[in-house]
Amino acid sequence: MSEPVKKRILAVDNNIIFSESIKIFFQERGYSISICTEADMVLAKAADFQPDVILLDLKMGSVSGLDILREIRSRDRKVKIVVLTGSIDSKKISSAQLLGADEYMIKPVGMADLKGVVDRL
C-alpha cells in the first residue's frame, strides 16, 4: 500500500529564520514546501507553486497579510490558508476569517501543532 501524497505548502513570512525553520521541519517529513519572504512575490509564487496550503504571516513588512489574504482568495477559493501572527487581536482574527482564512494560529507556533493543522485541512 502506498503512502498518501503529502500536501504542497507555501510558507509566507518575512522572518527568514522562521521561514527556513518551517521549511526544514516539513521537508524532513516528506512535504513539498516553498517559502516566500517578500510580500510583493507572494501571488506569483502561489501561482507558480500551486500549494494546497498557505501559511501566511499577517505582518509582512509594510504590507498587511490581510491584503495578501484578500488577493489570494480573489484568485483561488480552494487553497487552504493558515494565518500566523504574533498578535492576539480579535479584530484581525475576525477580519482574517471573513476574508477566508481556514485557520488562525498565534506565534510562537509549535511545529507539531502546525503540522497537525496542515494535515487536518
Whole-number pLDDT of residue 3: 59
Q: In degrees to the nearest 10, what's the CA dihedral of 105, 111, 115, 121? A: 10
Handedness of CA 23, 26, 75, 94 (dihedral sign): negative
Are the beta carbons of 58 and 71 closer than 8 angstroms? no
- This prediction has a pTM of 0.94
Element (DSSP H or E) covering residue 33 = strand 32-36
56 φ/ψ angles, rounded to the nearest 5 degrees: -115, 120
Question: What residue ranges define each of the domains in the chain, with the CATH number in brackets?
Answer: 8-120 (3.40.50.2300)
pLDDT band at 79 (very low <50, low <70, confident <90, very high): very high
User: Is residue 1 pLDDT above 60, yes or no?
Assistant: no
Whole-number pLDDT of residue 28: 96
Tell me which amino acid residue 38 is: E
**In the predicted model, what is the mean pLDDT of the chain?**
93
Whole-number pLDDT of residue 86: 85
Q: Is 75 left (phi over 0), alpha (psi -120 to 50) or beta?
A: alpha
